[in-house]
């Protein structure tokens, strides 16, 4: 496998890169300061195109000393901005007791130069859009982080290095960081963020096979929890299948077909409280013989494509090194799970309808109004076969940076066994392996999880 260290990165820290301070403000228990940076679109060429990178520095108002080390938080996704704190709570409350926290809006999201359908349209052809989008993966996110670190972390503080915390896809970015720039790191914390089998060029097919099986288990658990929803879901699917276009037209122009409806499992099946939120949405489904406006608007709010199209465009590429995904989740579904996820057939025959999970499909760019203009671009991204390598297994084997991971045994989004195939390449990794949490563990009990990971990283918890 090609290693992530291949290729020469040009020097990017220059006078023009200096941070521009923005607003400063406070929320209960926290003080916040915003900064904006100019970063190259492409770190690996001589392109002169630049984009904005936005970061927010967060400190506790009751900090014991001012010279705290820095902690970079990398958000899950891909394609989602950093959290917007409203108070000192959860993992952030714990973090600010020990660190000055840096919240990075990963390139293409939030207040960094954001990728939207309208923005991409201004670039021109689908080929130009795809060429632009190839610079928004973990390798470029890590180089943005390095630019921020070199400019803002004082040299006298741990030699200018910082700690990093990665949730989900943010953990994938952390492992890329550990591969490409370990000299900038003091310690690494991962929550549901060990990427699958990094020694493989593209483990997407095998990862999706495992994830589909996990999704089927979650569906079975859901219907044990809410058996009354079996018939309700069948009724919804039968209603959608009977419509003239095979689906109902939603207020935003999306066509809600059975396959589109199944995507509620993305948020409803794999996180704490997801079963309940899904049930409460489904129970509003009908207003007389037709779908209710409450349900239709609720469905729209569950789908993030208008504000975050990067997720749909780049999701499968996060697995790719030197080869393309070619719509991996779709191919695996048709080849191996066609019957289990055939919603219309299940409903018509009186069987439970299975929802899908964290998968993207080519027909999403037909059904979802917000994605239709991006269909040709998505196809180019799926077929792209020359993705740069993301991970360097030799570097991971030789790392001296402490790594601590919360690894969730029943994770619906990051398959446990595939994550363990990666863990064996990381020298000295300490894992907290548990089925106590879902993928949303950092959100659900972040204070406890971060405390455990810090203890693991710093040798405060004994080896077992």
Query: Span 183-211, mean pLDDT?
Result: 96
Per the omega criterion (within 30 degrees of 0), is the bond before 78 cis? yes
User: What's the pLDDT band for 11 if we cut at 50, 70, 90?
Assistant: low
Q: Is 330 a catalytic residue?
A: no
Q: What is the pLDDT of residue 63?
A: 64
Q: Are 332 and 441 in the same domain?
A: no
Domain boundary among 364, 383, 402: 383
For residue 458, the SS3 value is coil
Answer yes or no: is 464 within a domain: no
Q: Are 266 and 134 in the same domain?
A: no
Q: Is the pLDDT at 197 greater than 80, yes or no?
A: yes
Answer yes or no: is 8 within a domain: no
Strand ranges in 234-365 using DSSP code E only, listed in sequence order: 248-249, 255-256, 286-287, 290-291
291: nearest Cα among 256, 320, 323, 260: 256
Q: Is the pLDDT at 152 greater than 70, yes or no?
A: yes
Q: Are 429 and 356 in the same domain?
A: no
Q: Is the pLDDT at 243 greater than 90, yes or no?
A: yes
Answer yes or no: is 272 within a domain: yes
For 334, half-sphere exposure in the C-beta direction (CA atoms, 13 angstrom radius) is: 7
Q: Are 261 and 193 in the same domain?
A: no
pLDDT in tens, 431-446: 999 999 999 999 999 9
Query: Span 380-398, mean pLDDT?
Result: 96
User: What's the pLDDT band for 20 if we cut at 50, 70, 90?
Assistant: confident
Q: Are 370 and 434 in the same domain?
A: no
Query: Span 18-28, mean pLDDT?
Result: 85
Q: Are 103 and 172 in the same domain?
A: yes
Answer yes or no: is 3 within a domain: no
Q: Is the pLDDT at 62 greater than 90, yes or no?
A: no
Q: What percent of the chain has pLDDT over 90?
A: 88
pLDDT in tens, 213-224: 999 999 999 999
Q: Is the pLDDT at 403 greater than 50, yes or no?
A: yes
Catalytic residue among 46, 65, 301, 386: 386
Kind and range of the H or E run holding 269: none
Q: What is the pLDDT of residue 6?
A: 43
Q: What percent of the chain has pLDDT over 70?
A: 95
Q: What is the pLDDT of residue 2?
A: 44
Q: What is the pLDDT of residue 285?
A: 98
Q: Is the pLDDT at 64 greater than 70, yes or no?
A: no
Q: What is the pLDDT of residue 405?
A: 98
Which has the minimum average pLDDT: 65-79, 242-256, 316-330, 419-433?
65-79
Q: Are 222 and 355 in the same domain?
A: yes
C-alpha–C-alpha distance, residues 141 and 54, integer Å: 12
Which letter does DSSP use for residue 183 in this model?
A: G
Answer yes or no: is 4 within a domain: no
For residue 167, the SS3 value is strand
C-alpha–C-alpha distance, residues 78 and 312, integer Å: 9
Kind and range of the H or E run holding 289: none
Answer yes or no: is 216 within a domain: yes
Q: Are 138 and 230 in the same domain?
A: no
Give the ranges where 242-308 is alpha helix by DSSP (H): 258-261, 265-268, 274-282, 293-302
Query: Span 322-351, mean pLDDT?
Result: 97
Name the average pLDDT for the chain: 94
Residue 26 dihedral angles phi and psi, to the nearest 5°: -130, 150
Q: Is 439 a catalytic residue?
A: yes
Q: Are 211 and 194 in the same domain?
A: no
Q: Is 135 a catalytic residue?
A: no
Q: What is the pLDDT of residue 306?
A: 86
Whole-prediction pTM? 0.95
C-alpha–C-alpha distance, residues 178 and 74, integer Å: 13
Answer yes or no: is 9 within a domain: no
Q: Are 352 and 410 in the same domain?
A: no
Full domain range(s) for residue 29: 15-198+390-457
| Residue 427 CB contacts under 8 Å (≥ 6 apart), including other chains | 396, 397, 398, 399, 400
Residue 200 dihedral angles phi and psi, to the nearest 5°: -95, 145
51: nearest Cα among 180, 141, 164, 172: 141
Domain boundary among 353, 383, 413: 383
Catalytic residue among 135, 330, 439, 440: 439
Which has the minimum average pLDDT: 71-75, 144-148, 305-309, 450-454?
305-309
Q: Is 116 left (phi over 0), alpha (psi -120 to 50) or beta?
A: beta
Q: Are 355 and 410 in the same domain?
A: no
Q: What is the pLDDT of residue 66?
A: 66
Domain boundary among 348, 383, 418: 383
pLDDT in tens, 156-169: 888 899 999 999 99
pLDDT in tens, 245-266: 999 999 999 999 999 999 999 9
Q: What is the pLDDT of residue 155?
A: 87
- The total domain count for the chain is 2
Catalytic residue among 126, 168, 179, 405: 168
Q: Are 294 and 441 in the same domain?
A: no
- Which CATH number do you get for residue 31? 3.40.50.1820
């Amino acid at each position: 496998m090609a290693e992530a260290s291949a290729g020469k990165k040009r020097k990017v820290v220059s006078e023009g890169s200096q941070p521009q301070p923005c607003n400063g403000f406070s929320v209960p228990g926290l003080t916040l300061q915003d900064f904006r940076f100019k970063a190259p679109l492409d770190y690996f060429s001589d392109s002169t195109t630049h984009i904005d990178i936005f970061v927010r520095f967060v400190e506790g108002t009751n900090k014991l000393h001012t010279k705290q080390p820095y902690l970079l938080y990398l958000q899950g996704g891909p394609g989602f901005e950093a959290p917007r704190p409203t108070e000192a709570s959860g993992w952030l409350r714990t973090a600010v007791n020990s660190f000055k926290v840096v919240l990075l809006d990963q390139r293409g999201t939030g207040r960094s130069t954001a990728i939207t359908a309208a923005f991409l349209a201004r670039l021109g052809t689908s080929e130009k859009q795809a060429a632009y989008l190839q610079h928004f993966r973990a390798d470029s996110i890590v180089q943005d982080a390095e630019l921020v670190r070199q400019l803002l972390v004082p040299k006298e503080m741990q030699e200018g290095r910082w700690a990093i915390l990665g949730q989900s896809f943010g953990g994938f970015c952390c492992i890329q960081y550990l591969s490409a720039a370990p000299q900038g790191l003091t310690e690494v914390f991962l929550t549901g963020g060990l990427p699958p089998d990094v020694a493989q060029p593209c483990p997407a097919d095998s990862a999706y096979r495992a994830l589909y099986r996990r999704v089927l288990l979650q569906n079975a658990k859901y219907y044990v929890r809410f058996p009354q929803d079996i018939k309700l879901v069948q009724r919804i699917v039968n209603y959608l299948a009977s419509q003239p276009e095979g689906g109902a037209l939603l207020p935003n122009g999306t066509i809600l077909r059975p396959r589109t409806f199944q995507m509620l499992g993305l948020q409803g099946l794999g996180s704490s409280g997801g079963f309940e939120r899904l049930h409460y949405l489904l129970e509003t489904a009908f207003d007389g013989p037709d779908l209710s406006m409450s349900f239709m608007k609720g469905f729209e709010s569950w789908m993030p494509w208008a504000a975050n199209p990067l997720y749909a465009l780049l999701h499968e590429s996060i697995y790719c090194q030197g080869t393309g995904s070619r719509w991996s989740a779709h191919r695996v579904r048709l080849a191996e799970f066609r019957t289990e996820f055939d919603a219309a057939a299940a409903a018509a025959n009186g069987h439970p309808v299975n929802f899908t999970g964290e998968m993207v499909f080519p027909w999403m760019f037909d059904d979802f109004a917000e994605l239709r203009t991006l269909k040709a671009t998505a196809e180019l991204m799926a077929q792209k076969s020359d993705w740069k390598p993301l991970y360097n297994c030799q570097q991971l084997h030789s790392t001296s940076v402490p790594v601590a991971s919360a690894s969730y045994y029943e994770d619906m989004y990051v398959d446990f066994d595939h994550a363990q195939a990666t863990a064996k390449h990381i020298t000295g990794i300490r894992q907290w392996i548990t089925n106590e949490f879902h993928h949303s563990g950092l959100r659900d009990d972040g204070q406890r999880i971060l405390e455990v990971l810090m203890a693991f990283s710093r040798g405060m918890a004994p080896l077992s």
